[in-house]
Amino acid sequence: MKRNIILAVFLLIFIVGWTASFAAYKHRQESKTVEDAARLLPTKVKEIRRSTSQKELQKWIKDASESGEKISIAGMQHSQGGQTYFPDSIMLDMKTYNRVLNFQPDKKRITVQSGATWNDIQRYIHGNGLAVQVMQSQNIFTVGGSISVNVHGRDIRYGSLIDTVESLRLLKADGTIINVSRKQNHELFELVNGGYGLFGVILDVTLKLAQDEWYENEVIAMDYSEYTDYFKRKVKHDPNIRMHMARLSIAPDPSFFKEMYVTNYRLLQNQKSTKNEPLRNDGNVVLPKVLLGTSRYSSWGKELLWKTQKNYFLKQNGKVETRNNVMRSDSEFMEYDSQNRTEILQEYFVPVDEFSSYVDDLKAVLTKEDLNVLNITIRYVDQDQQAMMTYAKKDMFALVWLINQEKSKKGTADTKRVVRKLINITLDHGGSYYLPYYPFASQSQLERAYPRTQEFFALKRKYDPSEMFMNYFYKEYGDDL
């Protein structure tokens, strides 16, 4: 009998130990190399952890605080400069932390965990005739990641994403959880929106919503020199134009950096319910994928893409669609998998009145440099005085560039050399550049574009004195300040 009891005790100890080991293993992977969308910074992290539990996330942060571990925070990882990981760090993959916590359609408010995507939100609120106020052109991104880079989109009646954030809850480096809003912990509100995951883990967010509406497309071709005046006279002060975008030709002369087309999304006069209108999914992407593919490798391909694209969208004049569907742009055709090459994004912001002379200066550089630009999309963003690292010090046009380059050290160095020239031109015109992408900019360019840079990094160390939350962006620009 005594022997059986001893065996039972040993068996119990074995089961408990095995269970604990298995539970720990569930949340870990062996040391793994991770990459973001650009695939230029492959990095070995210590482990990747995923959770659906606030208590578990809180425990991990407390444990890391005691052990001195570094924490990086990831969503869809479309930031392209290692903002979502760090060597030998514990990477928190937040995509499984994605529940809707509260929805108040009468107040146009929704509270979601930070791993929820814009697509998750659109599907949840669509049946109530509501829509998102501000998001990227695609709906695949997580809310937490979008807040961390303070995104903007096509809507011109709201500013950047910070304008639509009512409040959030933040898991700090010491393991405590606080409310952050314009009234509570206001300084952190300015820091976390556009804070690149350096101040804590965003747990959940309350967002302000908009009414879903019917829009009529208005597509117009013009010369780039006409754009500023057209926008100021015909778009900005017309309250019925709710959303706006434009594209600038990167095809060879005579259209290079000269031809444009703009698309306005005008409020339809006779509104009806949007509740029964299906949410659009990606359509046929074969033709745009082929056209984009040819443009990567030839000038005639760029010309063919531009003419086809421009003519297609001009034929969309008068098309009617809902706000939710305008904000569900196709992105599948842009997927690109090459062993030797990759595609990066750059984004430059320039004051509205500087646009024409700015384009002239860009063209002067690009006619002498070999930079494989595939697309430039233009959006408008209001002045933002809330986020500490604001990219919109004035009312700005945002030029989003898609660039194809070699993945080699030489390819990256060549791109860096040209990009620094483009950033200098942007700064000379009173503009700035966007931070989620590969860190081509110099320290002086960063501080010129973002005058509160040193204050931002000093406050990072105030709120996270052990520098637990780490990524490549901070290591590149803030670690030694």
Place of tokens 């100021």: 232
pLDDT digits (tens, 9 = 90+) for 257-299: 999 999 999 999 999 999 999 998 866 678 888 889 899 999 9
Protein fold of 32-211+451-481: 3.30.465
pLDDT score recorded for residue 17: 45
- In this structure, the dihedral spanned by the alpha carbons of residues 158, 163, 167 and 173, taken in order and rounded to 10 degrees, is 140
Residue 48: φ, ψ to 5°: -115, 130
pLDDT digits (tens, 9 = 90+) for 183-233: 999 999 999 999 999 999 999 999 999 999 999 999 999 999 999 999 999
pLDDT score recorded for residue 12: 42
* Beta strands in 105-249, from DSSP E residues, in sequence order: 109-113, 130-132, 165-171, 177-181, 201-211, 214-223, 241-248
Place of tokens 């408010």: 109
- Range 35-55 average pLDDT: 94
- Range 129-151 average pLDDT: 95
User: Mean pLDDT of all residues in the chain?
Assistant: 92
Task: Assign 438 a pLDDT band (cuts: 50, 70, 90).
Answer: very high
Q: Please give the Cα distance from 163 to 209 (Å, whole number).
A: 11
pLDDT at 8 over 50: no
Contact predicate 279/118, CB 8 Å: no
CA dist 402 to 240, 296, 306, 456, Å?
30, 11, 14, 29
pLDDT at 334 over 90: no
Contacts of 476 (CB under 8 A, 6+ apart): 81, 439
CA dist 472 to 386, 438, 450, Å?
25, 10, 18
| Torsion-angle region of 68 (φ positive above 0: left; ψ -120 to 50: alpha; else: beta) | left
Q: Please give the Cα distance from 356 to 421 (Å, whole number).
A: 18
What residue ranges do the domains of the chain occupy? Answer: 32-211+451-481, 214-448
pLDDT at 24 over 70: no
Element (H, E) at 410: helix 409-428
Task: Look at domain 214-448 and name its CATH class.
Answer: alpha beta
pLDDT score recorded for residue 339: 87
pLDDT digits (tens, 9 = 90+) for 111-127: 999 999 999 999 999 99
pLDDT at 406 over 80: yes
CA dist 450 to 47, 124, 227, Å?
33, 37, 27
Residues 306-313: contacts with CB under 8 Å, at least 24 apart: 306/249, 306/250, 306/251, 306/255, 306/259, 307/251, 309/247, 310/221, 310/247, 310/249, 310/259, 310/261, 313/219, 313/261, 313/263
- In this structure, the dihedral spanned by the alpha carbons of residues 157, 162, 164 and 167, taken in order and rounded to 10 degrees, is -160
Residue 138: CB atoms within 10 A of its CB come to: 20
CA dihedral (358, 363, 364, 370) positive or negative: positive
Q: Residue 283 burial (CB < 10 Å; 0-12/13-18/19+)? A: exposed
Query: Among the residues of 178-285, which ranges form H helices?
Result: 186-192, 227-230
Please provide the DSSP assignment of 13-28 as one string: HHHHHHHHHHHHHHT-
Task: Assign 401 a pLDDT band (cuts: 50, 70, 90).
Answer: very high
pLDDT at 25 over 90: no
Residue 416: φ, ψ to 5°: -60, -45
| Segment among 1-15, 202-216, 251-265, 339-353 with least mean pLDDT | 1-15
Per the confidence metrics, is the pTM higher than 0.75? Answer: yes
Q: Please give the Cα distance from 37 to 123 (Å, whole number).
A: 25
275 alpha-carbon distance from chain centroid: 28
Q: Please give the Cα distance from 380 to 180 (Å, whole number).
A: 28
pLDDT score recorded for residue 330: 62
pLDDT score recorded for residue 333: 62
Give the single-character DSSP code of 142: B
Q: Please give the Cα distance from 94 to 145 (Å, whole number).
A: 9
Task: Assign 26 a pLDDT band (cuts: 50, 70, 90).
Answer: very low
Contact predicate 188/463, CB 8 Å: yes
pLDDT at 173 over 60: yes
Q: Please give the Cα distance from 217 to 194 (Å, whole number).
A: 31
pLDDT score recorded for residue 121: 98
